[in-house]
Amino acid sequence: MLMKKLFVFFVVLSVSILFHSCVKEEEFDEKLLIGRWRSGTEFWVYESGHTGYTWDESDDVSEEDEKQTFTWKLVGSELQITHFGGKVPKYYTVIELSDKTLKYKDSFKSYSFSKVP
């Protein structure tokens, strides 16, 4: 009886490991991220070199005025954005990234942007 239980345990363990290893993380091309993105009055500019800046027109801020700079890194579907001189990293999961659409989420909220000229 003990051998049968051990056999079943190892079969279940093997199957779960097999299925887990078959799930492939989504890979997104970071070149698609480069550019200017808009969501309502909020703008984000991702530049090559993994830098960027953001501003929100509802705060009476224009691109040239009080923009906030950040650095970014995209690995697989994980987008890391670091504000304030590299001291406050935030992590997001990219859901969709194309030449026109950017969607990502964190633990609390989903974000959706459209690419603008």
Pairing of strands 101-105, 42-47: unpaired
20 located within any domain = no
Q: How many domains does the chain have?
A: 1
Per-residue model confidence as pLDDT tens for the chain (117 residues): 655 544 444 444 344 444 444 445 689 999 999 999 999 999 999 999 999 999 998 887 767 678 899 999 999 999 999 987 778 899 999 999 999 999 999 999 999 999 998
Range of the domain at 72: 25-116
The percent of residues above 70 in pLDDT, for the chain, comes to: 76
Q: Is residue 7 part of a domain?
A: no
What CATH code is carried by the domain that includes residue 72? 2.40.128.280
SS (H, E, C) 14-59: HHHHHHHHHCCCCCCCHHHHCEEEEECCEEEEEECCCEEEEEEHHH
Kindly state whether residue 6 falls inside one of the protein's structural domains: no
In a domain, 67, yes or no: yes
Q: What's the rounded Cα separation, in Å, for the pair 68 and 61?
A: 10
